[in-house]
Amino acid sequence: MKQKENISVVWLKRDLRLHDNEAIYNALESGRRVLFLFVFENLLLNDPHYSDRHWDFIKQSIVDLNEELAKYKTKVLSVNGEIFSVFNQLLNHYQISEVFSHQETGLLVTFNRDKEFARYCRNNSIVWTENINNGVLRGLLNREDWFEKWERYMYQSQLEFQASTQDFITVSEINRIADYFHTTDLTTDKSTNFQYGGRTTAWKYADSFFEKRYENYMFHISKPEASRSSCSRLSPYIAWGNISIREVFQKAKKVKESSESKRHLGAFISRLRWQAHFIQKFEMECTMENASVNKGYHKLKKSISETYKVAWETGQTGFPLVDAAMRCLNTTGYINFRMRAMLVSFFTHILWQPWQEATYHLSRNFLDFEPGIHFPQLQMQAGETGINNLRIYNPTKNGIEHDPDAIFIKKWVPEIAHLPIPFIHEPYLMTPLDQQFSKCILGKDYPTPIVDIKENRKKASDILWNMKDDLLVRKESLRILKKHTINNRSRMLRDDS
């Protein structure tokens, strides 16, 4: 019987790139031939946080990877199934000495899967090496020196992808064993409104941002329409690992050296740090996936209204900026940070719904869904951390300030686009005569507001402000501050040097 070849496997997850990928770098250093593997796992395909837009983005990223790998006569083995059955089948063809992947700060289901996979590897005499992902560290008890460690990581040299055809399992070999797997069809619809996945496209966005678009970054960051071109739009490529934070960080630093718009790039760099900060927070306190990080807010009970949920999810609340933002998100997978915060604030404060009820709809629709950002931000905007300022966004005020000509609202709520600007922002101010004259009948052509915003805003404010004095809320706030406060926080939030 022929002895099985001893190989290394790179298990790709949210690190869909060859360059500056420590798992790939270390696999190539192992001296054994390398097999690239991506598993469309049933536990995630069936998870309510994900949707087809995510899987299509991943497929596009793998196609882009395969185009890069073609010169090395290899490709990613892309299969559907459970990780354990996939590896069992691989072991029928190869002896696997090592598996390389990045440390994933993911959902509880992936954390539990990883613990089971670690046991699986031990039982099968496989060494599983997990590498740091974008400077997020596992096992920290507090944030002492975290900022300095993260910044040192960002300034380290990028890991070059240097390989030859002899380093990999060949395409012909992969095709031979593919019959033993449920391989994944990587074709996707290219006529969608979503950003296209892959490193090639990621760098098109990055190059256009650093060449010109960043010059209006700070001016337009809060504007729902202008931000679509003035923000980097790199978030999905970072979330799925088409490009590393270190690459973006170093590129921004380099461009900033000779730029006349240093403050814009400084603000952008600070948000890269901010991104890592929240993922690190989730890594250290993953229970916030299901419950408020501040245990004092566990006693806050809110009744769930399916009517409110459906109106919010479909952009039919009667508040134009809220509806425009939700419709835009549902259609394109992207809205800027302020609109995201406003949607959560409206849901949790004005509609007085539990933040957990917003989790799935938002995660399914954010093309850049990143668990480490998603859950801390939901809780922060819901006002249930005890350490952040309570912000209850007024959608009308935000519309007038950031979309004064109603360009964004007209685009996404076309049924009121013909109204005079003041009525576009506040259609509920129209009298019955105004409605007849404008041929826009509230409740028929556009919804009447589903709640009294002034009354509900005061109710939410009163309850949440009073809860800040609760003994357990205060005790938990001190614990959270001690665990998650960063040294040199002011430096993390600004980079004007």
160, pLDDT greater than 90: yes
Q: Confidence class of residue 496 from pLDDT cuts 50, 70 and 90? A: very low
Q: Are 352 and 456 in contact (CB under 8 A)?
A: yes
User: Nearest to residue 231, comparing CAs of 266, 268, 256, 260?
Assistant: 268
Residues 247, 304 within the same domain: no
Asked if residue 377 belongs to a domain, the reply is yes
Residues 378 and 235 reside in one and the same domain: no
pTM: 0.95
Backbone angles phi, psi at 449, to 5 degrees: -55, 135
Taking CA atoms, 178 is separated from 37, 184, 304, in Å, by: 12, 10, 47
pLDDT, tens only, 315-327: 999 999 999 999 9
226, 328: one domain: no
Residue 422 lies in a domain: yes
Does 124 share its domain with 248?
no
pLDDT 10s digits, 15-31: 999 999 999 999 999 99
Residues 315 and 258 in one domain: no
pLDDT at 118 over 90: yes
115 assigned to some structural domain: yes
- Is the domain of 85 the same as that of 127? yes
> How far is CA 372 from each of CA 168, 288, 363, 377, rounded to the nearest angstrom?
33, 10, 12, 9
Long-range contacts at 427-432 (CB < 8 A, ≥ 24 apart): 427/318, 427/320, 428/318
pLDDT digits (tens, 9 = 90+) for 284-306: 999 999 999 999 999 999 999 99
List of residues 6+ apart from 311 with CB closer than 8 A: 317, 318, 447, 450
Instruction: List, in order, residues 6 or more apart from 44 with CB less than 8 Å away.
Output: 50, 109, 110
Which structural domain, as residue segments, surrounds residue 313? 295-472
Mean pLDDT estimate for the chain? 95
pLDDT at 490 over 90: no
Q: Specify the pLDDT at position 487.
A: 60
Q: Residue 244: give its domain's CATH number.
A: 1.25.40.80
Question: Cα angle vertex 415, ends 412, 419, to 5°?
Answer: 105
Strand ranges for 12-110 from DSSP E: 34-41, 76-81, 95-102
Q: Which residues contact 283 (CB under 8 A, 6 or more apart)?
A: 105, 136, 137, 138, 140, 372
State whether 311 and 446 are in the same domain.
yes
Residues 400, 318 within the same domain = yes
Last residue of a domain, one of 82, 115, 133: 133
Q: What is the DSSP string of 90-124?
A: HHTT-EEEEEEEEPP---HHHHHHHHHHHHHHHHT
Calculate the alpha carbon distances from 157 to 111, 339, 443, 459, 467 in Å: 29, 36, 59, 52, 47
Burial state string for 134-168 with b = 16 or more CB within 10 A and e = fewer than 16:
bbbbeebeebeebbeebbebbeeeebebebeeebb
Residue 494: pLDDT above 90? no
Could you tell me if residue 94 is inside a domain? Answer: yes
Tell me the CATH number at 23: 3.40.50.620
Amino acid sitting at position 66: N
Residue 489 CA to residue 478 CA, distance in Å, equals 17
Same domain for 418 and 379: yes
Q: Which band of pLDDT confidence, cut at 50, 70 and 90, is reported for residue 488?
A: low
**Does 229 fall in a domain?**
yes
- Report pLDDT for 336: 97
Residues 6 or more apart whose CB falls under 8 angstroms from that of 466 comprise none
- The structure tokens 């506040």 sit at 426
Q: Provide mean pLDDT across the span 482-486.
A: 84
CA 193 – CA 420 distance, rounded (Å): 29
434 in the same domain as 397: yes
* pLDDT for residue 389: 85
Residues 432 and 301 in one domain: yes
Give 360: exposed, middle or buried? Use CB within 10 Å, 0-12, 13-18, 19+: middle
For residues 105 and 245, give the distance between their C-alpha atoms in angstroms, rounded to a whole number.
15
Q: Identify which of 247, 195, 222 has the alpha carbon closest to the alpha carbon of residue 21.
A: 247
**CATH number of residue 462's parent domain:** 1.10.579.10
What percent of the chain lies above the pLDDT cut of 70?
98
How far apart, in whole angstroms, are the C-alpha atoms of residue 491 and residue 486?
Answer: 10
Cα 459 to Cα 287, 350, 448, 462, distances in angstroms: 28, 9, 21, 5
Three-state secondary-structure class, residue 25: helix
Q: For the stretch 432-448, what's the b/e string if a residue is b when 16 or more beta carbons lie within 10 angstroms of its beta carbon?
A: eeebeebebebeeebbe
Instruction: Flag whether 189 is in a domain.
Output: no
Asked if the structure places residue 165 within a domain, the reply is no
CA distance readout (Å), 119 to 13, 123, 125, 402: 19, 6, 10, 52
The answer to whether residue 423 is domain-embedded is: yes
Q: Give the separation between CA 175 and CA 73, rounded to whole angstroms.
A: 12
Domain boundary among 103, 133, 163: 133
pLDDT for 489 beyond 80: no
Long-range contacts of 117-124 (CB under 8 A, 24+ apart): 117/83, 117/84, 120/84, 120/87, 124/87, 124/91, 124/96
Task: Please return the burial class of 16, using the count of CB atoms within 10 Å of its CB with bins 0-12, 13-18 and 19+.
Answer: buried
Q: Do 23 and 69 fall within a single domain?
A: yes
CB atoms within 10 A of CB 265: 25
The neighbour count for residue 111, using CB atoms within 10 Å, is 15
- Average pLDDT estimate for 106-111: 96
Mean pLDDT across 409-431: 97
Number of independent structural domains in the chain: 3
Residue 84 phi, psi (nearest 5): -70, -45
Residue 428: DSSP 8-state: G
